[in-house]
Structure 1
Amino acid sequence: MSDDRVTETPHTTIIERRGGGGGVLIGLAVLIAVVVAAYFLLVRNDSEVAKNNAITSAAKSVESTADKAGSAIDGATDAK
């Protein structure tokens, strides 16, 4: 009879880390782009609000002046 020979060799597992952090850099770049875009949208929105407030103020001034002119005209026609 022949004896079976069993040889066990040690197994070495090699784990390679790939990628030099390119994904992290791309994610950081996208995050910065989103923050910058949000900032400019907010600044633009504030600018629109300021413009709208200025137009409203000017319209109220014109309304007040028109009311005064109308009163003066009414007073002039009543005096005759």
Structure 2
Amino acid sequence: MADETFETARQPEAPATHTTIIHEAPRSSSGIGIIMALILLVVVVGGIYLFSKTSGESVRDNAIAEAASDVGNAATKVGDAAENAVNTNK
């Protein structure tokens, strides 16, 4: 029997794949968001306060104007009654 020799060429091994995952910690906004939220809250509360105060003043002013009108109407009626009394006694 004849000696047979088999030669096989080995291929170099492929480099192992390596995956690196980097997780970055969330950056702090140094409180800018919180400050902006507080400013917005103050503006909203101030707007509501001014709106309610203005509405209250206009209601009060309307009530005073209506009362003055009623007093004027009453004075006119008294004047008319006095005039009628004078005209009746003539």
Q: TM-score range by the shorter chain?
A: 0.7 to 0.9
Q: Give the stretch that moved more between structures: 37-46 or 18-27.
A: 18-27
Could you say what the CA RMSD is over the residues aligned between the two structures, in angstroms? Answer: 1.8
- TM-score where L is the length of structure 1: 0.82
List 4+ stretches of structure 1 deviating above 4 A.
none
- Choose which of 15, 19, 24 in structure 2 pairs with 1:15: 24
Matched, 1:35 2:45: yes
Where do 5+ consecutive residues of structure 2 fail to align? 1-9
Per residue, is there more helix in 1 or in 2?
1
Displacement, 1:13?
1.8
Distance 1:22 1:51 in 2: 43
Which stretch of structure 1 is more off in the superposition, 37-46 or 1-10? Answer: 1-10
Q: What is the TM-score of this pair, normalised by structure 2?
A: 0.74
**1:26 shift after superposition:** 0.8
